[in-house]
Structure 1
Amino acid sequence: MLSAGSTAFSQEAAPRAAVVAVEATTRTLAETSVFNGRLDANRRVALAARVSGMIEMTEFTPGAQVTEGQPLFVIEDDLYAAAVREAEGALRAAEAQRDLARIERDRQAELVSRDAGARARLDQAEAALATAEADVLRLAAVLDRAGTNLSYTQIKAPFAGRIGDRAVDAGALVGPETGALAMLVQLDPIHAEFAVPTAVLRDFLERVERGEISKTAAVTLTLANGSIYEQPGDIDFVDSRVNSGTDSVTLRARFANPEGRLLDGELVRVTLTSDTPEAELAIPAQAVQRDIQGAFVLVVGEGDVAQQRRVTVRRNAEGFAVIAEGLSEGERVITEGVNKVRPGAAVDAIAPGG
């Protein structure tokens, strides 16, 4: 039968739980938020034929960078050039008839002014002149239309960008009904569109109004392979409507992309970072636990005894929890082994890597 003294001896001899503890320290942590996004080309156009004809040649390499105004497809233009010449001839003939009608009108006007001609003849001459001038206008429009159709036989790049694969080759018969011949996209600059929960956006705006954070934020991209895109962006669009299906607001950030590294439609992670980071008391985020009363941590107190401490977490950033209340700098919080410890239990605390 064991005595009371022997029971106390056995409790003292019980091994202490091994835990890892980290000191609460002041760190400079930027305000960050991460969202899923998708890259969207600045400009995108499907090139199509506006007149019918056979493709004589294609003047680009699929996937290459093209310049604004560069011819990409050339449609045979014999019939359209002939239509221009025909319209030019008809217009010149009409102009000659107009000039002749003007001379006749002036002659009849002179006769009437000397009472040597009938007023009816002058009226007829003026009507003939008006008809001749109308013919000139009509045929000038015909010439403009023929010239426009001739210009359409060269399909040019409306802006500088990267050209996709061609849907037709030389010798193909195309027309307005053919559809897209190739796709041209402008990748520099490029935009990243991402949705921000309405509650998050509202909280951000209220904190800006209170002066707690800056409205200006640096925007960075994490690509699909985990690499960080080297050039930061800036927010240039905030939608005025909330998406009722997701209760979120669409934002858009603009990025320079001179080398075309970012691709249209690519999935990315968008990180918004405050431009005014401040020194704040922080601990590793995994040290914070929660129950129905709120957040708490286990602190290694005097005599290496674990103590529960209620804390107020202001925010999380870069893997750390920023503590507003409940801890002082230098106090040790348990980050590993918390499941083996109860408040009031003695622990064997070591530093990370110890």
Structure 2
Amino acid sequence: MIRTLFVTAAFVFFGSAVISQDNPPPAAVVAVEVTTRNLAEVSDFNGRLDANRRVALVARVSGVIENIGFVPGAIVEQDQPLFVIESDLYDAAMREAEGALRAAQAQRDLARLERDRQSELVLREAGAQARLDQAEAALATVEADVLRLEAALDRARTNLSYTVIKAPFSGRIGNSAVDEGALVGPESGALATLVQLDPIHAEFPVPTALLRTFLERVERGEVSREAAVRLTLANGTVYDAQGDIDFVDSRVNSGTDSVMLRARFANPEGRLLDGELVRVTLTTDTPEGELAIPAEAVQRDIQGAFVLVVGEGEVAEQRRITVLRNAQGFAVIGAGLSEGERVITEGVNKVRVGAVVDAAAPEG
């Protein structure tokens, strides 16, 4: 009796296993509908950021640094004093030039009086022409001295102004190459570097053929130079502002058959840095209403591209397709699919063509 029950139980267990293996549950997959999307045609290039303005600050007169008026790395305003060089000698030179000029001006005024007096005497035939000629020559000499001393005063004033090195524009100042108390002069080189980061430019080379196509589309109004460029930073972050193409070089690089383009980006927070290497994405076309599916749904074999479609009765079908291009993570479909059909994007390796699947929409 016990043996009979054991045999019966074994038959039930193994029989159930055979039935379960013959009728496995449908494969769980994720399926996405074929939709119409507006996918811009883009091309990626390596580029480098270039500050809008950059200047090396140098001393134009010699002297000791009395004060440094900035914190390295800070934002400075236009005309903000950055370095102050001792000015006592240059102030004294200016006052000396002012005194010499005043003396020369007094001599000029006296020479004019003498010239006028001699001229009056000659008109009255009471004086000699030679005395008048000498008076005119003396006046010309002192007038020349006045011009020379005016120039000397201008030079002294200019040298005095050079003792205060100001920011020529607003921007970010680099590290100071000298400390307070250092003796500097024109031969000292750059004391610091000032860059203007807002706006900032991205320069990148574009193949000539692609540039021709892009410019022709711009002329036809199919694409714009404005907001045509995006940046991807070194850590993979996509910069939130788009850039405008503001410069196309007039010369082709014969070695690479490419042309240098430049895009202008707003950078009010200074996130983009001068000289930074970036990935540049140029929008070369903006077509409308194209059938598209996620790129991961496309499979390939020796015959070409195909997808697995969830057909009638939730049965998986293989469908040959034509892929026109890939853009923004999607494959643009030229033939083989219709809007509203569902293609399998996840679980493809579990699917057998002709089998029923358990298709679910993607989360989110």
> TM-score per shorter chain, which class?
0.7 to 0.9
CA contact (8 A) 2:214 2:284 kept: no
Query: How far did residue 296 of structure 1 move?
Result: 3.3
Q: Secondary structure at the match of 1:29?
A: coil
Which residue of structure 2 lines up, in the alignment, with residue 90 of structure 1? 100
Q: Which amino acid aligns with 2:129?
A: R
- Measure the CA separation in 1 of the matches of 2:237 and 2:355: 41
- After superposition, where does 1:115-126 map in structure 2 within 5 Å? 115-126=125-136
Q: Secondary structure at the match of 2:89?
A: helix
Which residue of structure 2 lines up, in the alignment, with residue 78 of structure 1? 88
Range with bigger deviation, 77-86 or 244-253? 244-253
CA contact (8 A) 1:214 1:276 kept: no
Q: Secondary structure at the match of 2:37?
A: strand
Which residue of structure 2 lines up, in the alignment, with residue 175 of structure 1? 185
Q: Relative to structure 1, is the Cα distance of residues 182 and 305 closer, same or farther in structure 2, using a 3 angstrom cutoff?
A: closer
Runs of 5+ in structure 2 lacking a partner? Answer: 1-21
- After superposition, where does 1:324-343 map in structure 2 within 5 Å? 324-331=334-341, 333=343
Query: How far did residue 172 of structure 1 move?
Result: 0.7
Which residue of structure 2 lines up, in the alignment, with residue 311 of structure 1? 322
- Measure the CA separation in 2 of the matches of 1:200 and 1:237: 16
Query: How far did residue 270 of structure 1 move?
Result: 2.6
CA contact (8 A) 2:226 2:243 kept: no
- Measure the CA separation in 1 of the matches of 2:316 and 2:208: 44
Q: Relative to structure 1, is the Cα distance of residues 257 and 217 closer, same or farther in structure 2, using a 3 angstrom cutoff?
A: closer
Query: How far did residue 150 of structure 1 move?
Result: 0.8
Which one of 172, 175, 188 corresponds to residue 165 of structure 1?
Answer: 175
Which residue of structure 2 lines up, in the alignment, with residue 268 of structure 1? 278
Q: Relative to structure 1, is the Cα distance of residues 91 and 214 closer, same or farther in structure 2, using a 3 angstrom cutoff?
A: closer
Query: How far did residue 23 of structure 1 move?
Result: 4.3
- After superposition, where does 1:255-294 map in structure 2 within 5 Å? 255-273=265-283, 278-288=288-298
Q: Which amino acid aligns with 2:126?
A: A
- Measure the CA separation in 2 of the matches of 1:85 and 1:211: 65
Which residue of structure 2 lines up, in the alignment, with residue 187 of structure 1? 197
1:103 to 2:119 alignment: no
- Measure the CA separation in 2 of the matches of 1:200 and 1:278: 20
Q: Which amino acid aligns with 2:73?
A: G
Which residue of structure 1 lines up, in the alignment, with residue 53 of structure 2? 43
- Measure the CA separation in 2 of the matches of 1:349 and 1:286: 18
Residues 1-32 of structure 1 deviation map (CA, whole Å, 9 limit, x = unaligned): xxxxxxxxxxxx9x9x9787654322232343
Range with bigger deviation, 180-189 or 19-28? 19-28
Residues 293-337 of structure 1 deviation map (CA, whole Å, 9 limit, x = unaligned): 8x6324547895755635250x32111121234433244556568
Q: Secondary structure at the match of 1:230?
A: coil
Which residue of structure 1 lines up, in the alignment, with residue 258 of structure 2? 248
Q: Which amino acid aligns with 1:236?
A: D
Query: How far did residue 121 of structure 1 move?
Result: 1.2
Residues 100-144 of structure 1 deviation map (CA, whole Å, 9 limit, x = unaligned): 111111111101111111111111111111111111001110111
Residues 175-229 of structure 1 deviation map (CA, whole Å, 9 limit, x = unaligned): 1000011111111111222222223222323444555545544433322233333
CA contact (8 A) 1:71 1:154 kept: yes
Query: How far did residue 159 of structure 1 move?
Result: 0.8
- After superposition, where does 1:146-157 map in structure 2 within 5 Å? 146-157=156-167
Which one of 285, 296, 305 corresponds to residue 305 of structure 2?
Answer: 296
Which residue of structure 1 lines up, in the alignment, with residue 230 of structure 2? 220
Query: How far did residue 97 of structure 1 move?
Result: 1.1
- Measure the CA separation in 1 of the matches of 2:157 and 2:224: 56
- Measure the CA separation in 2 of the matches of 1:196 and 1:228: 20
Cα root mean square deviation, aligned? 3.2
CA contact (8 A) 1:21 1:349 kept: no
Which residue of structure 2 lines up, in the alignment, with residue 7 of structure 1? none
Which residue of structure 2 lines up, in the alignment, with residue 29 of structure 1? 39
Query: How far did residue 268 of structure 1 move?
Result: 2.2
Q: Which amino acid aligns with 1:255?
A: F
- Measure the CA separation in 1 of the matches of 2:227 and 2:194: 32
Tell me how many residue pairs correspond in the alignment: 338
Q: Secondary structure at the match of 1:242?
A: strand
Q: Relative to structure 1, is the Cα distance of residues 284 and 73 closer, same or farther in structure 2, using a 3 angstrom cutoff?
A: same
Runs of 5+ in structure 1 lacking a partner? Answer: 1-12
Query: How far did residue 275 of structure 1 move?
Result: 9.1
